[in-house]
Amino acid sequence: MKTSRIMASMALAALCAVTPAHALDGETLDIGPAGATDVLTIDASTNTQVFLGILQDFQALYPGMRVVYTELPTQTLYDDALARRAGRASATASATALSSTSVSATAPGSSSASVRPSPDLIISSSMDLQTKLVNDGYAQPHVSPETTALPDWARWRNEVFSIGGEAMTIVYNTHAMTAHDAPRSRQQLLAMLRDPAQRLQGKIGTYDVAHSGIGYMAATQDARRDSMAGALWAAMGNSAAVVDEYSDGLLDRIERGELTLGYNVLESYAQRRIAAGAPLAIVRPDDYTLVVSRVALIPRDARRPELAGRFLDYVLSARGQETMQRESRMLTVRTDLDAQALTGAMRPVALGTGLLVYLDDLKRQGFLQAWRGAIGQQSGSAGH
């Protein structure tokens, strides 16, 4: 795997100067001593800048460890896990066939050669895809005081764990809309979209559900919780909604004023921009605010599962959760550490088999067909 690496010094001050480099297959941070014996590899969908402070704090606790963190799309994380198993199965079959003819099983050209090496930890915002990996036997368990302290909705089979919450919010440009005018609920947003004044015509954006793993999951959760979801999509379609597979793409447009408002946008991404001075504001819908999670699992074929477990225990600890709230603007999932966490209108999505429903091929195709018909998007293949 070709990768651009950034070597940081062991001093935390130097670490703070790290910036990610672009690689052909993702954006990679390489933090810690080059000659380290302990190397933890993490493949994740979270933006490197969002996760950098957490990696720095962890490496400060373990200065002799090297951490290699690669940002990849959620679908790539899932597809890579499947490809690794398929590659191993193919290599085993080839070895059996070759041994029967007295040919070396490690001959060049083995199909496993092109498979990306397994990371020690996979972190993804696509809770459904992570749950499917666990359901299909791709993960291994990890049990510790930190994991058992999680609420039931935040862990499943002791193999997949929520490490940080993400509120799905309405974000608007404060130069184009006042706090008084901003919709506080989906009902208000629907009324605004249906208003003959067409204030949001061509000025509203949302996830491209057909190409975004987290966007698809959020949309299916809306459909399960809210009978007016279809009407809202249709109203967005009639208002010529702009769709993007990334939160940052939507936020770029809102910040520039090309869009006035975005629906189902990750709160932490918007908060970072607001802290930097962007003319944005956030609304947590008061009918319900969907909370999705960044979820982690240790692959069954992880090379250093003990290091992955060490990182999991850190990020779920009081120190790790506080660091994540401060540095990454995510919500704590440890309700025992914060009695006010995820209360009120906040509705966390639970890990478990319920997330697998809309991964069924026929149900997925039907859902996407309905969404495209409502919002006016052309068919396309599923991706990030």
DSSP 174-186: TTT--TTTS-SSH
**Is 166-291+358-375 a CATH 3.40.190.10 domain?**
yes
Contact 297, 159 (CB under 8 A): yes
At how many degrees (to 10) do helices 229-238 and 213-225 cross? 120
Contact 314, 334 (CB under 8 A): no
Alpha carbons within 13 angstroms on the beta-carbon side of residue 100 total 5
Residues 325, 320: Cα–Cα separation, whole Å? 9
pLDDT value of position 73: 87
User: Which letter does DSSP use for residue 49 in this model?
Assistant: H
Contact 345, 167 (CB under 8 A): no
pLDDT value of position 74: 86
Q: How many residues in the chain? A: 384
> Residue 165 pairs with which residues in a beta bridge?
293, 331
Residues 366, 73: Cα–Cα separation, whole Å? 24
Q: What is the pTM of this model?
A: 0.81
pLDDT value of position 205: 97
pLDDT value of position 324: 94
Domain ranges of the chain: 7-71, 166-291+358-375
Residues 26, 30: Cα–Cα separation, whole Å? 13
For residue 364, the surrounding DSSP H or E stretch is helix 361-375
Which token pair is 336? 């025992």
Residues 31, 198: Cα–Cα separation, whole Å? 50
Q: What is the CA radius of gyration of the chain?
A: 22
Residues 125, 166: Cα–Cα separation, whole Å? 9
pLDDT value of position 335: 86
pLDDT value of position 378: 47
For residue 372, give the amino acid letter. Answer: R
Residues 117, 28: Cα–Cα separation, whole Å? 15
pLDDT value of position 214: 87
Residues 185, 168: Cα–Cα separation, whole Å? 12
pLDDT value of position 279: 98
pLDDT value of position 338: 81
Residues 157, 138: Cα–Cα separation, whole Å? 12
Contact 5, 21 (CB under 8 A): yes
pLDDT value of position 383: 35
CA end-to-end span of the chain: 20
Nearest to 279 by CA among 318, 307, 312, 251: 251
Mean pLDDT (10-residue bins), the chain, 384 residues: 39 38 66 96 91 95 97 91 81 52 39 70 94 97 97 96 96 98 98 96 96 90 92 96 93 98 95 96 97 97 97 98 93 85 90 93 95 74 35
